[in-house]
Amino acid sequence: MPIRRAALLLLLCLLPHLALAQGRPMECFTKAEQRAEQMVREGLRLREGAIGCDGPPWRAGTRPLWDDIDRRFGGQFAAQTRVRERAFRREFAKDAENRLQMWNGRIVMHFRHYPLSETYCAGIKDVLQKMQKGGWRAFTGLAAKAKDQVKMDYRPCGE
């Protein structure tokens, strides 16, 4: 009897990975997919904040900082975007492209029209400067703060 329980437990643990390999909807996002979503959202927030805060009246000098970050970490941003896109294609096979565009639009519109202030722009600048010093690891730590938001939007696997 204990062997059957162990086999069943092993099967339950492997099920999400088997579904992922076969491209079947899992009705959840894996931890890696959730992290990718967090990073995509934070990257969009920083990009839109850097562009908005660089212009009048704030002139925070954030656009050159973002351009440097994008040059340095563009490959990592792209990799996370691909992880997220694969999850959408698996979960929403019939409508993945539209759903991706809708979610991207929602996130971009939110941050593009976020009410800017001296304090907000100073915060964006500070984060970009920390990324320049701390690298990708500094970014992933910051992006992890969006964990609860992502859980509200996508059910985590295993919960």
Q: Domains of the chain: which residue ranges? A: 2-153
pLDDT tens digits along 54-70? 999 999 999 999 999 99
> Do the beta carbons of residue 94 and residue 50 sit within 8 Å?
no
pLDDT tier for residue 121 given thresholds of 50, 70 and 90? very high
CB-neighbour burial class of residue 26 (10 A; exposed 0-12, middle 13-18, buried 19+): buried
80: CB partners within 8 A, 6+ apart: 35, 36, 39, 40, 43
* End-to-end Cα, the chain, rounded Å: 26
Q: One-letter amino acid identity for 146?
A: A
CA-wise closest residue to 143 among 23, 37, 8, 20: 37
Residue 10: pLDDT above 80?
no
